[in-house]
Structures are given as structure tokens and as C-alpha cells.
């Protein structure tokens, strides 16, 4: 048995590495086989097809980037018919990332996914780039409570709640999600940000603001994962700027059971695989039997 | 597509802040088509920079890429030297469709939009015409290269300091008065390509345009490089990295 094997929410994973929704797609198949990953994940999918925002949808930042894609996707029916069955042939674990403008949207999507082969459903309640739903759900305790409990009533799949960092107290948000029945927390989604073109006096993004990701957000993500780890008992998927195995180790020590890797793949598409190899080597060299022994092992100063 | 670190055989500054790199990669050269691009990693920058492939040399296993300093990333890239290695993913995207070199083609480039047209001129040879537009004489690049391949090369400058005074659309209108053209290939600023597309439509000439948009992944995953286009008679967003960069002029919208 590999040192990277783990079980989370009663699902077995070969390793803790998942791509981050929104950055992952078939384009990466030229770089590594998808069965190497702990799981594959879909793009944020809505009830109906969504066109997304006008361009420019990207701006570079120091050690990071902004995006304002706005959940462009072909809708849940297309996902269930065409994408999930294909992903399933490539990796035993497919996670569906879903988003809705209303609670009813989420419920309808989850009901459809109940009959699909996905292992888990990640609720995107933290997209900063849509006018309806999105981050609005994830930044209010009462909406998290209503949404998560409503979805849990109908879902036959474990529910991951993807939290927004654009809040003053992340632990409270995580606790509400847990109390409402969430099986797992993932964090962080992108941080609402901005860049300006000084020649035109216009924001670079056509939507003015967008979500910051990449190494720049890593320390914030790490702190938030640790705070959430200390506040809840359900497992955590750590996300935010992880781009090498050392950062992965840090994130796991902070409290993550699994990790999502996103923006780093834009520069080095093989990053998820490089991290898996690096973690394996780290565990072996340090005589750590299993990756789960590392979760939350940071020793905070008292 | 291929990712790797490839040797730079030669670097030249071919114009003010415009650099040409001759990169040794038989693997990439073999797979490359006119109008495709490579995505280049630059130390210290998360996002790779997409740069079009200007020329492909199968015999020597090289590709030529030409870029202009536009910002901090390309400024940093401009410090790369011969004998350095460059981290490239490529070839990417859909290139120009080359039809049959017995038909008459015109390539129309605006500024740094000119390099991807080089290999088209090479293909059509003396059945091709080049119209290249620049701000002024000091900005002119590749005129010698196009002159070598094409039957005729028309340079247009905004201030008239070299060639025709005015835009490439003037050059095209003048050429169409005396030559029957079967196909137009163009790459340059949107407003310029819009002007070309209008002329192509009026004269019912096939026209392929190479679009530009800020990118991240370059491989069709992240969906940031959106471009408005008509698909199945509906307005939608296609993606420059995967669906393009080359499109039929009838497919895309040229509004800023």
C-alpha cells in the first residue's frame, strides 16, 4: 500500500492531489495520464449553459493572476452526458463542481448528479465573478446554512463546501457548513482583487474585479485552512497557490487531508504529478507511514 | 504538443524592441503549422507568454519566433541569449489553412502581427503579395524577408516615412485594382483586421484572421482567452488558444 493512499468521506483515493476546478480540462491529457491523480474535477457547472464574462478575463499579478471567467460552461446535462462518463474512464474518482444562482438551482443539479457516477459534489458558493449566487452564498452565514442543509436533504453523494476567503471570520463559515451537514470543506476560492492599466485608467479585467490565485494567495490560504482545521471535525481540502511539494506539505500540516492544484499548472502543467512524486519521496525519507499522519501536524506556538 | 527546454541557436534584434529567436526543436518544428503559437515560460512570471511561430525549418529542425517588448514579461524575455534554453509548450492552437500554392494570396500584417505571416508567404511564394503596416520607418520589420518570398511587398506607414502613406487597407484597395486575389491572411490590431474583413466581404474574397487575447493556460482549459464569435448562428465565446488563434473572418466580431 502506498504511503499516499487515503480514505476521505469513505471514498478511497490513490493520493491526495486533485486539480482545482476551473483550471482543469482535457488539455492536460497531453502532459500526464489522469489516473495518476487522486481525483479529477469538473469545471464549475450550472443548471443551464453559461457564456461567462467578456474578455479580458485574465490579468497577471505579482506571483499570481486574476481571472474573471464567470463560470463559462455547457450546463449540467452536457456534463452528465458527455464529460463525467469520459472522466470516469480515466480516474475512478470524479468530483463535480457545481454553482447556482438560487438554492433551487443547486437542488436540481444535485438531483441530476445523484444518478451519475461522481464520487463527490463540490458546492461552489464562492465564485467572485458572477452577479447572481456565487460568492453571495458563501459570505453569509444564513445562506450557507440554508443552502447546505437543503442540498444535504436531497444529495446521495458526499458534499464538499468550497468556501470563500472574502469573509472576516472563515472559521464561523466553516462551522456553519459543518453544522448544516457538509461532509467536507474546501478552501480557499479566489480573493476578490483588481488591477488597473495606468495608460487607459481602466481596470485590466472587463469585469473590473476578479479572483486572485497563484502563489501570492498561499500564505492566506494556509492560515485559513489552519483556522478551519481548528474549528471543525470534517476533512478539509486545501487550495490556494500550492505549486510544489514543499508547499503541499505545509498545507497538509496546516490541516488539509487533500489538496487542489490550480494556477501552477498554467506555468508547469505537470505540477500535480511533480507534487505527488515529491510527497512520496518526503514521506519515505522521513519514515512517515501514511500521508494522513501529517494532516494538522503543525505545532502552533502556545 | 510538446513541452521542453530548447536551445536558442541565434538571437537578433530585428527592430526597435523586436527580437527574433531561432530555436532548435525538431519535434516542435515537425508538428508546427503556419499561424500556430508557442507558450513561453519566463522566470518570475506565473503566466506563460504566447508568441506566434514565424517560420518553420524542417531541414534544420528549427522554429523562429519574433516578439516585441510589450510589458515586463517580454522585457525579461528579451534578455535571453544565444545558447540559453527556453521553456516552451507548443505548437498550440489552430493555424492558417494553406490552400494550394497556385492561387493568389495576400498576407497583411500590422506591426508585430507580421511575423506569423512569413511561413504563408513562403508557401505561396511568387503567387503571394505582402502588405505590411507600421507606424513609421523605424518600426518596419521583416520587409527583406517578405521581399524575398513574395512577388511584391507593399510597406505602409502611418506617417509616410516609408512606402505608402496610410493604412494597409489603402494598400489592399490599390492592389485589388490591378490583381485578382483569391485569399487574404491577416494578423494585426483588431481595427485593422476589421477594415480588411470589410474589404474581403465587399470583394467576396476568402479571409483568415489571427486573433489575439490575453491567455493563461494556452491549452483550452482555463477559458480566459474568450473571443466573441458566431457558432451555429448564435453569438458565443470561443477561445483563442484552442479554437483559434486563426478564424474565418465571418466567424468573429471585431469590436473592442
Nearest to A65 among B216, B219, B220 (CB): B216
CA-nearest residue to A23 within chain B is: B222
Residue B197: partners with Cβ closer than 8 Å, 6 or more residues away: B207, B209, B249, B254
Beta bridge partners of A161: A123, A185
Chain segment A261-293, per-residue pLDDT in tens: 999 999 999 999 999 999 999 999 999 999 999
Q: Which three cell numbers stand for residue A18?
A: 486533485
CB-based contact A60 B47, cutoff 8 Å: yes
Domains and CATH numbers, chain B: 2-92 (2.40.30.10), 96-210 (3.40.50.80), 211-256 (2.10.240.10)
- A28 contacts in B (CB within 8 Å)? 219, 221
Chain B residues within an 8 Å CB radius of A55: 213-214, 224-227, 237
User: What is the tens place of the pLDDT at every residue in B199-230?
Assistant: 999 999 999 999 999 999 999 999 999 999 98
Contacts of A251 (CB under 8 A, 6+ apart): A221, A222, A225, A238, A240, A242, A259
Spell out a b/e string for A179-195, using b for 16 or more CB atoms within 10 Å of the CB, else e.
ebbbbbbbbbbbbbbeb
Q: What is the CATH number of domain A6-54+70-196+219-294?
A: 3.20.20.70
Q: Read off the pLDDT of residues A217-241 as tens digits, 9 standing for 90 and up.
A: 999 999 999 999 999 999 999 999 9
Give me the mean pLDDT over the B54-59 stretch. Answer: 96
For residue B256, name the pLDDT band (cuts at 50, 70, 90): low
A268 touches chain B (CB under 8 A): yes
Q: Say whether A23 and B224 touch across the interface (CB within 8 A).
A: no
Identify which of B250, B131, B150, B144 has the alpha carbon closest to the alpha carbon of residue B197.
Answer: B250
pLDDT value at position B177?
A: 95
pTM of this prediction?
0.94
pLDDT for residue B100 is more than 90? yes
Beta bridge partners of A6: A13
A33 touches chain B (CB under 8 A): no
Domain boundaries, chain A: 6-54+70-196+219-294
Q: Is the pLDDT of residue A118 over 80?
A: yes
- Closest partner CB to B227 (pick from A24, A55, A59): A55
Is A9 designated active site? no
Name residue B214's beta-bridge partners. none
Q: How many angstroms separate the CA of residue A232 from the nearest CA in chain B?
A: 32
Interface predicted TM-score (ipTM) of this complex, two decimals: 0.93
Among the options A127, A174, A188, A256, which is catalytic?
A: A127
* Spatial distance between the Cα atoms of A51 and B31, rounded to a whole number of angstroms: 32
Which secondary structure element, helix H or strand E, spans residue A111, and what is its range?
helix A103-113
Amino acid at each position: 500500500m502506498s504511503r499516499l493512499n487515503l480514505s476521505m468521506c469513505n471514498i478511497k483515493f490513490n493520493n491526495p492531489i486533485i486539480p482545482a476546478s476551473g483550471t482543469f480540462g482535457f488539455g492536460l491529457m497531453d502532459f500526464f495520464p489522469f489516473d495518476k491523480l487522486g481525483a479529477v474535477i469538473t469545471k464549475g457547472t450550472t443548471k443551464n449553459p453559461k457564456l461567462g464574462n467578456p474578455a479580458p478575463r485574465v490579468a497577471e499579478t505579482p506571483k499570481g493572476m486574476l481571472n474573471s471567467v464567470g463560470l463559462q460552461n455547457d450546463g449540467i446535462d452536457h456534463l452528465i452526458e458527455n464529460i463525467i462518463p469520459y472522466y470516469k474512464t480515466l480516474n475512478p474518482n470524479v468530483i463535480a463542481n457545481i454553482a447556482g444562482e438560487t438554492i433551487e438551482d443547486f437542488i436540481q443539479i444535485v438531483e441530476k448528479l445523484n444518478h451519475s457516477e461522481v464520487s463527490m459534489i463540490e458546492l461552489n458558493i464562492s465564485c467572485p465573478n458572477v452577479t447572481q449566487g456565487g460568492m453571495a452564498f458563501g459570505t453569509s452565514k444564513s445562506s450557507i446554512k440554508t443552502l447546505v442543509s437543503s442540498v444535504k436533504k436531497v444529495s446521495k453523494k458526499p458534499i464538499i463546501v468550497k468556501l470563500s476567503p472574502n469573509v472576516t471570520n472563515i472559521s464561523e463559515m466553516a462551522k456553519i457548513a459543518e453544522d448544516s451537514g457538509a461532509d467536507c470543506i474546501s478552501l480557499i476560492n479566489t480573493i476578490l482583487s483588481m488591477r488597473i492599466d495606468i495608460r487607459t485608467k481602466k481596470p485590466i479585467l472587463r469585469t473590473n474585479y476578479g479572483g486572485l490565485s497563484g502563489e501570492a494567495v498561499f500564505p492566506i490560504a494556509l492560515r485559513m485552512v489552519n483556522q478551519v482545521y481548528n474549528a471543525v471535525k470534517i476533512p478539509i481540502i486545501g487550495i490556494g497557490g500550492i505549486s510544489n511539494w514543499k508547499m503541499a506539505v505545509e498545507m497538509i500540516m496546516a490541516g488539509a487531508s487533500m489538496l487542489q492544484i490550480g494556477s501552477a499548472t498554467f506555468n508547469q502543467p505537470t505540477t500535480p504529478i511533480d507534487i505527488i512524486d515529491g510527497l512520496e519521496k518526503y514521506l519515505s525519507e522521513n519514515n512517515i507511514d501514511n500521508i494522513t499522519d501529517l494532516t494538522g501536524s503543525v505545532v502552533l506556538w502556545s | 504538443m510538446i513541452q521542453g527546454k530548447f536551445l536558442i541557436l541565434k538571437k537578433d534584434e530585428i527592430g526597435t524592441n523586436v527580437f527574433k529567436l531561432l530555436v532548435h526543436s525538431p519535434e516542435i518544428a515537425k508538428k508546427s503549422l503556419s499561424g500556430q503559437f508557442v507558450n513561453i515560460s519566463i522566470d518570475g512570471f506565473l503566466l506563460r507568454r504566447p508568441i506566434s511561430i514565424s517560420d518553420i525549418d524542417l531541414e534544420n529542425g528549427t522554429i523562429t519566433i519574433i516578439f516585441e517588448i510589450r510589458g515586463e514579461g517580454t522585457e525579461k524575455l528579451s534578455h535571453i541569449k544565444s545558447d540559453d534554453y527556453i521553456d516552451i509548450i507548443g505548437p498550440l492552437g489552430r493555424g492558417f489553412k494553406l490552400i494550394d500554392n497556385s492561387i493568389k494570396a495576400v498576407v497583411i500584417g500590422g506591426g508585430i502581427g507580421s511575423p506569423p505571416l512569413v511561413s504563408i508567404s513562403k508557401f505561396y511564394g511568387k503567387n503571394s503579395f505582402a502588405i505590411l503596416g507600421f507606424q513609421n520607418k523605424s518600426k518596419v520589420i521583416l520587409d527583406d524577408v517578405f521581399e524575398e518570398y513574395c512577388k511584391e511587398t507593399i510597406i505602409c506607414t502611418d506617417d509616410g516615412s516609408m512606402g505608402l502613406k496610410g493604412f494597409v487597407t489603402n494598400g489592399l484597395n490599390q492592389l485589388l485594382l490591378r490583381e485578382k486575389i483569391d485569399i487574404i491572411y491577416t494578423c494585426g490590431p483588431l481595427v485593422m483586421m476589421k477594415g480588411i474583413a470589410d474589404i474581403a466581404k465587399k470583394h467576396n474574397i476568402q479571409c483568415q484572421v489571427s486573433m489575439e487575447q490575453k491567455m493563461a493556460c494556452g491549452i483550452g482549459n482555463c477559458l480566459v482567452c474568450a473571443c466573441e464569435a458566431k457558432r451555429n448562428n448564435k453569438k458565443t465565446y470561443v477561445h483563442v488558444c484552442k479554437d483559434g488563434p486563426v478564424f474565418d473572418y465571418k466567424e468573429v466580431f471585431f469590436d473592442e
